[in-house]
Amino acid sequence: MLSDVMEDYLKAIYQLQRGTDERIRTSEIAAELDVTSPTVTSMLDKLEERGLVDREKYRGVTLTDEGETVALEIVRHHRLLEAYLTEHLDYDWSEVHAEADRLEHHISEDFEARVADALGEPTVDPHGSPIPGADLEPPERPAGEAISEFEEGAVVTVAEVADRDPEVLSYLADRGVEPGVELEILEVAPFGMVTARSSESEEPVSLPETVAHHVRVVTPAEPDPQG
C-alpha cells in the first residue's frame, strides 16, 4: 500500500515530466512539493525500492510504467473531482484545484466510478487538461502549444489553462481567457509577455511569461483534440 505522500511524489514527477523525456531532478521535485532536497532524496530511495521510479544517482528520475500508472490514477481522481465540483457543486474553476488536492487520495474506486458516471465520462477537466481514462493508459500529448509560440496577429483558440493559482485563474476568467475561447494576439513582448484580446471581452489581457507558459492554444485549422 502506498502512502498519500508517495502518491504526491509520483504525481509531482508525472506533472514535471509532462511533455518531455527529461529526467526530473531532485530540486525540481523539492520545489514542486515545497520540501527540502534531502527529503526528496530519501523518498526517491523508497520509490526506487518499490520499482516506481528509475533512478540515476545525481541525475534525476523518471517514472517506471508502474509509477506512471499510479500517477495517472491520482491525476484521474484530481481532474474528475475538479469537473464534478464545477459541474455539480457550483465551484468556480479557480477554486477547484485546492479542494481536489485535498480529496484525490481519499476516494474509493467506487466513488471514482460514480463521479465519472454522473459526469458522463468526461475527457477534459475545467482547465482543459485531459482526464486519464479508467484504463489508466497515458493520454495523448497535451493539445496545442503554449501561446507564447505564436506571433502578433495570430488568432487562436484556448485549449488548456494549466495554472493552479486561484488568483491567476480568476484574473484570466474575468478577462475571458478560458478553454474554448478565441483570442487574437496583439503583441508579444521580447521578454515573453503576451498581450491578447478575447472574443469574450473588450479589455485586452496581458500574460507574463510564467502565465503564458501555462496557456495552451490551437489554431482554427488544427482540429480541436477534445471535439
Partner DNA sequence: TCCCGGATTTAGACGGGTCTAACCCTAAAC
Partner DNA sequence: GTTTAGGGTTAGACCCGTCTAAATCCGGGA
In the complex with DNA, the residue whose CB is nearer, 50 or 213, is 50
Asked if 169 is part of the footprint of a copy of itself (rule: CB under 8 A), the reply reads: no
C-beta of 118 vs 134, nearer to a copy of itself: 118
Displacement of CA 152 from its chain's centroid (Å) = 26
Place of cell 486519464: 132
Question: Beta-carbon neighbour count of residue 103 at 10 Å?
Answer: 14
Query: 46 or 213: whose CB is closer to DNA?
Result: 46
Angle at 143 between CA 185 and CA 205, to 5 degrees: 25
Q: Residue 110: which of DNA, a copy of itself, none does it interact with, CB under 5 to 8 A by kind?
A: a copy of itself
What type of residue is 150?
Answer: F
Taking CB within 5 to 8 Å according to partner kind, which of DNA, a copy of itself, none is near residue 36? DNA
Judged by CB under 8 A, the chain residues 71 through 90 that form the site for a copy of itself are 88-90
Positions that interact with DNA (CB under 7 A): 3-6, 25-27, 30, 33-46, 55, 57-60
Given DNA, a copy of itself, none, residue 58, with its beta carbon under 5 to 8 Å by kind, binds DNA
**Stretch of residues binding a copy of itself (CB under 8 A), selected from 21-29, 31-39, 67-75, 95-103:** 95-103
CB-nearer residue toward DNA: 15 or 170:
15
Give me the sign of the Cα torsion angle 56, 57, 63, 67. positive
Q: Which of 111, 155, 192, 200 binds a copy of itself (CB under 8 A)?
A: 111
Instruction: Give the H/E segment covering residue 49.
Output: helix 37-49
We find the least distance from the C-beta atom of residue 159 to DNA, in angstroms, to be 31
Q: How far apart are CB 120 and a copy of itself at their closest, in Å?
A: 14
Q: Please, what is the Cα angle at 155 between 152 and 157, to 5 degrees?
A: 130
Q: Would the CA dihedral through 187, 192, 196, 201 be positive or negative?
A: negative
Give the burial class of 85: count Cβ atoms within 10 A of its Cβ; 0-12 exposed, 13-18 middle, 19 or more buried: buried
What are the two backbone dihedrals, phi and then psi, of residue 53, each rounded to the nearest 5 degrees?
-135, 155
Residues that bind a copy of itself (CB under 8 A): 88-91, 95, 98-99, 102-103, 105-108, 110-111, 114-115, 118
